[in-house]
Amino acid sequence: MTESATALDSPCEALRTQLRRHAAEVPSQNGLCAEFSTMLEALEDPFERSRVAGHFTGSAWLVSADGRRALLTHHRKLERWLQLGGHADGDRDLAQVALREAQEESGLEDLVLESPAIFDLDKHWIPARGQVEGHWHYDVRYVVRARGSEQYAISEESLALAWRDIEALADDPDGDPSLQRMARRWLARR
């Protein structure tokens, strides 16, 4: 194996390891862990959005310094309140993708990746829009914590941003199911 092939495989092996650990820690996501692992074997690069069958994204469960609130975006294209995140665009380190997207979409500077461990997985359908066909996002989510100012700046990807109480998110009957799941998982950790 060439040095360049080894360099490409290393982040994929790290993600495989993360997925195995997540499956052991969160048995309810075993099926998703297996499906996400299978994506790593795809002939077409699953870290590129050009893979129409579906591709990896990285998202941040961005919590306040005290861990009581999460920063959410009112997503411009999907018109729903969601966690911050986005496309890998070739980056195989999805934890770094999540951190980068959180910084870009919030304008917050003093953010830290709390752990390289996966916090949550979600596979969701993105409807066709303009020239872009409908496709699947294989979203790998990590905990990111705000350590400094919580004064955010709204990016062009958002209609709005808001710090939301995590307990309220967990109990919101009209909330996004994946946000409820992450809020409940977060509260169970405290």
Q: Beta strands 55-63 and 135-146: pairing type?
A: parallel
Positive or negative: CA dihedral 81, 85, 88, 94: negative
How many other CB atoms are found less than 10 A from the CB of residue 32? Answer: 20
Cβ pair 74, 158 in contact under 8 A: yes
pLDDT at 185 exceeding the cut of 80: yes
Helices (H), ranges, 57-109: 94-106
pLDDT reported for residue 6: 39
pLDDT in tens, 129-166: 888 899 999 999 999 999 999 999 988 888 899 999 99
pLDDT reported for residue 52: 87
Cβ pair 101, 59 in contact under 8 A: yes
Angle between helix 30-39 and 3-25 (nearest 10)? 170
For the chain, what percent of residues have pLDDT higher than 70?
Answer: 95
pLDDT in tens, 11-51: 689 999 999 999 999 999 999 999 999 999 888 999 999 99
Q: Give, in order, the Cα–Cα distances in Å from 155 to each of 106, 119, 127, 145, 159.
A: 7, 25, 22, 19, 8
pLDDT reported for residue 3: 38
pLDDT band for position 9 (cuts 50, 70, 90): low
